Chain A
Amino acid sequence: MHSVTVNDITYTFTEWEEVDEIYIHIFTTEGTTVCIPKDLLDGTV
């Protein structure tokens, strides 16, 4: 299980897909798809 916090919202997820060289789509445990920079895995912005 991974987590990332963006704009004070923490998302947890196990699966993701690469979008481009910068971004991935994470498939959150809440059922949404969120775009984050790939270098933020397990990180915070």
Chain B
Amino acid sequence: MSIPNWWGDWRQGLTPHTGDLQSTDLIECTQIVAGQPVNTAITGQQIINAASGGSSNPTTIGGAYGTGVTGLANAVSATVLIPANTIVTTNTIYIKAFIDRTLVSGSGSTAFRFYTNTTNSLTGATLLGSGGSMATNVRFQRFERNIYVDINNMNCFATGTSASNDYTISAISLIPFNKTVDNYLIFTVQHSSSATDIAAWKRVIVQKYA
């Protein structure tokens, strides 16, 4: 167990704090009781919790700036790692993204899928859903998904439904999810007919609600 750094107390033998507040820091609070100083301490974590409204929700798991995809293959634009043991039962994974088509010929459409896998590969990746298909001159899409995690599964908006968000009612898709290993969220782009078009999951943010 490491020795905490102290705020507000420079007594010999205590390590004074420098840098940003850490959850393990101790902050001394001195009261005068019956004419005598009484020292108590609160932790950095207590302050962090209070500063975020008594809750640490949401916390950001990771994000990515996706690369533009050309060609007609189902190609990876962005990947976000969910490290092992980041998620526990009853957490919700919240995905929000900005999708765009930066070069459009006007013909064909573009599909935006996302998967989960325990390796950073499409081989063996399980489909979690698709954003709205974008055709003709549609260039902008705001994407959102909420995924509730139970004991064994991700509880998803119907994975076979293409939609930019999950604000509406839907069938539920249960996707097996092992929380104790690394899991990757893999975001792909596929153009239907115009190989010179360019599209991307330009900005992806993945958060956790406890």
Contact = CB atoms under 8 A, between A and B. Distances in A.
Interface in A22-44: 22-23, 25, 30-37, 40
Contacts of B127: 25, 32-35
A20 B117 CA distance: 19
Interface stretch (B41-49, B132-140, B173-181, B200-208): B173-181
Interface in B163-201: 173-176, 190
B79 to A, nearest CB: 14
Contact of A34 (B73, B119, B125, B160): B125
B94 to A, nearest CB: 21
B72 interface: yes
A1 interface: no
Given A20-B72, A20-B74, A33 B160 contact: yes
B74 A19 contact: yes
A45 B159 CA distance: 25
B112 interface: no
A25 B123 CA distance: 10
Interface size class, chain A:
10 to 19
A7 interface: yes
Contacts of A7: 117-119, 124
A9 B126 CA distance: 12
Nearest to B186: A35
A23 to B, nearest CB: 6
A25 to B, nearest CB: 7
A6 B124 contact: yes
Contact of B175 (A21, A32, A40): A32
B62 to A, nearest CB: 21
Contacts of B122: 23, 35
Contacts of B119: 7
5 contacts: A20-B190, A25-B127, A35-B124, A36-B123, A36-B124
Given A7-B117, A20-B73, 11 more contacts: A6-B124, A7-B119, A19-B74, A23-B122, A30-B176, A32-B126, A32-B175, A34-B125, A34-B127, A35-B122, A35-B123
